[in-house]
Amino acid sequence: MCLDKIALVIGGCHGIGAGIVETMAKTGYTVFFSYRSRKDEAVALQDRLCSEGLSVKAMYGDFADESCINNFINGITCIDILIVSAAINHKEAFLSYSIEAFKEIMKNNLFMPFLFCQKIAKKWIDEGKKGRVIFISSIRGETPQLGRLGYCCSKASLNMMTKCAAYELASYGITVNAIAVGLTGLGMNKHLALHSDDKWREREEKIPLGRTGQGKDIGNTVVFLADEENDWITGQVITVDGGHLLKTF
């Protein structure tokens, strides 16, 4: 159990983020998590976990610009672990991919994590705190996918940002790691998993361990990286994919 530690999960009301929130709360963390357009889901998750005696709070956050991020961070008095799970996707062929769509994905999937990491790291340095930053990345940061130019590029950039930030923040005792997530039936893939049985089974057959990922698979890895006993791990992009990339290569 990790008592008296506060975790902030950006993008925690559904999908992988919700799995992280639940796993960390059950491990003993006090968990704040952000939502923007899914208030009902956020409140339902908060209420369910609180009814189990866990410490969880949903917070509205619209991170349209830097000032919004500042205001959100200032609303939490103490943060020990930052997890950035929020991301968007856009499917379009390379030759017709718009610069507007590319910019929007990079803004949400790269610039927003960068700002959260930078600003919270500055707070930790001022406070003399050795915090943890964990980015939720994707195996698509290593392997291309048709029609996913922006998403793949944003995750590849996030992986490199993880290494650069970890290198620069190591002298302050701050660790920065990322989790490259494989195929899950959550978030962006939930509709396909629920309504396209044959196509979904075909995807599952490509995974050596025989199933797609669940929220707890990612949540357990986050808990491992957040544990203060594992403070010699930094700058790593840990793949959690059931062995999927083994068949890719």
Q: Give 110-158 pLDDT, tens digit per residue.
A: 999 999 999 999 999 999 999 999 999 999 999 999 999 999 999 999 9
Task: Return the bridge partners of 135, or none.
Answer: 84, 178
Start-end of H helices in 52-98:
66-74
Averaged pLDDT, 167-181:
98
Residue with tokens 């309504």: 195
Using the predicted structure, report yes or no on whether residue 249 has a pLDDT greater than 80. no
**Distance between CA atoms of 134 and 219, rounded to whole angstroms?**
11
Q: What pLDDT score does 193 carry?
A: 53
Handedness of CA 43, 178, 210, 88 (dihedral sign): positive
Q: What is the DSSP letter of 60?
A: E
Q: From start to end of 165-230, where are the E strands? A: 175-181
Q: Is 151 annotated as catalytic?
A: yes
Quote the pTM value. Answer: 0.94
Using the predicted structure, report yes or no on whether residue 191 has a pLDDT greater than 80. no
Catalytic choice (60, 97, 151, 167): 151
